[in-house]
Each structure stands twice: as structure tokens, then as C-alpha cells.
């Protein structure tokens, strides 16, 4: 029985966030309301899945004091985890928000080098996951970690008849769409990079996304004409988030992926409904400050206000 989702974050981070009244160049700026959160696309997907009562195991690489804190923060959220301990420390990313207009400065570092034996340990762990129904791989890649390493995980999952979801930057996605995937969710800029095109309109993005359906079951492109487009073999659907006060953009895309994966895991076959849940989760996180993700109750409430239409 396939009864769990496994997420792999190759390059997790400890996300430190805070607020300032203003930033003056060459002057010391005091940051208030410091908060720490686990970071990384697939880690955030796991956090949303857990909130939506989907069984999930978070994995990847963690090292040093920052890695220990990430693991501790995930434990507080009751997320099952199995990270490979690495020699070099996990990166720390910084998000600073303005109190007045909620604009953000985000500093993201490259991350630790992953040694060959550490990669092998993660591969062995993935092979041991006999109850994996969906594998989610998300985020950037650390130094000396390649797309070939990702394809190794994809191959292991597919040999176990598990579906694969990829939530990585466009340059990485471009090399992975030849594999049979369940879902990808690039934003428009990532989609342009992935397809090496300049498409911008809903119709142009739809036409280009349709070409990917031979290898990808669900192609979701966000930030298209103020909304998101989901292209499937059963139809194409478009929707926008309900009206919310946007306080932060951190984790909104990851939340969208998490909610969509939750519906796919539960066997929801309605593409329009899957997109509707995704948009609701994105809106829930957009309404939170700093690096906080939306709650299950917020997602459920915003789902009721989200409208999705079919695109002919």
C-alpha cells in the first residue's frame, strides 16, 4: 500500500526573518521581531502536507548548528523526518520585511558541498521507502550536486511505482521534463527559462504547456495574467487567489504545491478542484508575515472563496 509522501530538499536552509522601519545604505539597521523557520521548497511542501493531514516524511541533507535547528523546528511541527547528516553546515537565509509597505529583501546563500558518500546515504534511504506513493523534490541545488543526482532519485521512485513531483528552478526543470512526472509548478519566469521561450499571455503559455503533457500529467504555471494556469490532458483551468492583504511572498508557491500534492495523494481527480486548493493555500501564506506559512483553517476558508474556470 502506498501510504506516504516523501519530500527531498537537497539544499535546506534555516530561514531567519525580521522587520525594519527602513534600510539606510551604509548605516546600521536594527531588525525587530526575529523569527526562525525551516526553509527549502520541499520542506515547505512537507509542512503544508502535514497541516492538511497527509502522511509525509521530509528528507534531504542537514549539517551543523543550523541543520540541528531546522530538524528541531520540524519536530515541533510533528513532521516525520529522515535527513542525512553532512559534514558542512546547512545554509542560513535572511528575509527582512518593511513594516510600512511589506516589501522584502531576501538573501539566499549557495549552501554546503555534499560529499559522494552523503549522496549515497540518501539514495539508500529512498530505496528503503517501500510505502512511498509520491516523491516531491524541491528547491535549489547545493554546490557539486547535479541534475544527474536528481534523476537518480526519480529513477528509484519510478521503479517503486511512485509518482514524482518537481518544484525546482526553471534551469533545473528544463533537464527533468523528459522524465515521466506527475506535477510541475514553475512561475512564468521559470516557465520561460524552462521552455526557452518568451511566452507571456494565457493562450501562449497554454499552447507551450500542452507540448509538455506527453511527459508531465499536470503543468501548473503561476503568475500568468495575475493568476495560475493548470494544463492537463482532461482540460485547462485558470484561477486567481481570493482577495487577501499580501504581507509576504515567502513560501506561497511551495504552499500551492503542497496543497495540490495533498489532493493528488487523496485521489482527487478534478483538475479544477486541485488548482482551487493550490490557490487557496498560496493565498493563505501570502496573508502571513515573514516566513510563516498558512494554516489548514485559513486554507479551507479561502478555498470557499476561490474561483477556477475552464479555459477553452
Question: CA–CA distance from 256 to each of 35, 184, 231 (Å)?
Answer: 23, 11, 15
* Model confidence pLDDT, tens digit, residues 46-93: 999 999 999 999 999 999 999 999 999 999 999 999 999 999 999 999
Model-wide pTM > 0.85: yes
Question: Any residues with CB less than 8 A from the CB of 211 and at least 6 apart, and which?
Answer: none
Residue 187 neighbours by CB distance under 10 Å = 17
First to last CA, the chain: 38
Consecutive H or E run containing 143: none
pLDDT given for residue 22 in this prediction: 86
Q: Are 286 and 298 in contact (CB under 8 A)?
A: no
Pairing of strands 13-20, 104-107: unpaired
pLDDT given for residue 2 in this prediction: 67
pLDDT given for residue 101 in this prediction: 79
pLDDT given for residue 1 in this prediction: 42
Which residue in the list 15, 149, 254, 273 is annotated as catalytic? 254
Is residue 15 part of the annotated active site? The answer reads no
Between helix 41-51 and helix 64-76 the angle, nearest 10°, is 20
Question: Per-block average pLDDT, block size 10, for the chain (312 residues)?
Answer: 88 96 89 96 98 98 98 98 98 92 89 97 97 96 94 96 96 91 97 96 97 97 97 97 93 98 97 98 95 97 98 88
Residue 87 neighbours by CB distance under 10 Å = 13
Here the cell at position 183 is: 506535477
Dihedral (C-alpha) 205, 208, 214, 215: value to the nearest 10 degrees?
-70
pLDDT given for residue 312 in this prediction: 82
Q: Are 261 and 165 in contact (CB under 8 A)?
A: yes
Amino acid at each position: 500500500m502506498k501510504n506516504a509522501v516523501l519530500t527531498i530538499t537537497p539544499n535546506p536552509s534555516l530561514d531567519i526573518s525580521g522587520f525594519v522601519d527602513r534600510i539606510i545604505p551604509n548605516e546600521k539597521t536594527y531588525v525587530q521581531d526575529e523569527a526562525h523557520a525551516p526553509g527549502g521548497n520541499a520542506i515547505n511542501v512537507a509542512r503544508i502536507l502535514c497541516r492538511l493531514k497527509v502522511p509525509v516524511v521530509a528528507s534531504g541533507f542537514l549539517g551543523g548548528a543550523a541543520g540541528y535547528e531546522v530538524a528541531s523546528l520540524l519536530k515541533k511541527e510533528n513532521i516525520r523526518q529522515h535527513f542525512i547528516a553532512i559534514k558542512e553546515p546547512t545554509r542560513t537565509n535572511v528575509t527582512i520585511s518593511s513594516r510600512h509597505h511589506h516589501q522584502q529583501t531576501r538573501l539566499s546563500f549557495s549552501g554546503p558541498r555534499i560529499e559522494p558518500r552523503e549522496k549515497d546515504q540518501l539514495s539508500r534511504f529512498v530505496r528503503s521507502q517501500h510505502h512511498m506513493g509520491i516523491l516531491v523534490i524541491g528547491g535549489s541545488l547545493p554546490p557539486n550536486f547535479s541534475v544527474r543526482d536528481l534523476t537518480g532519485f526519480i529513477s528509484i521512485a519510478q521503479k517503486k511505482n511512485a509518482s514524482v513531483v518537481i518544484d525546482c528552478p526553471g534551469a533545473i526543470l528544463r533537464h527533468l521534463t523528459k522524465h515521466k512526472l506527475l506535477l510541475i509548478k514553475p512561475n512564468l519566469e521559470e516557465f520561460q527559462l524552462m521552455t526557452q521561450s518568451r511566452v507571456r499571455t494565457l493562450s501562449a503559455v497554454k499552447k507551450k504547456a500542452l507540448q509538455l503533457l506527453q511527459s508531465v500529467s499536470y503543468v501548473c504555471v503561476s503568475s500568468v495574467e495575475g493568476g495560475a494556469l493548470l494544463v492537463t490532458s482532461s482540460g485547462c483551468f485558470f484561477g486567481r487567489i481570493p482577495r487577501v492583504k499580501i504581507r509576504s511572498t515567502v513560501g506561497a508557491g511551495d504552499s500551492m504545491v503542497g496543497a495540490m500534492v495533498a489532493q493528488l495523494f487523496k485521489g482527487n481527480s478534478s483538475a479544477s478542484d486541485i488548482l482551487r486548493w493550490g490557490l487557496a493555500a498560496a493565498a493563505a501564506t501570502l496573508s502571513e508575515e515573514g516566513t510563516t506559512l498558512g494554516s489548514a483553517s485559513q486554507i479551507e476558508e479561502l478555498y470557499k472563496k476561490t474561483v477556477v474556470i475552464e479555459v477553452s
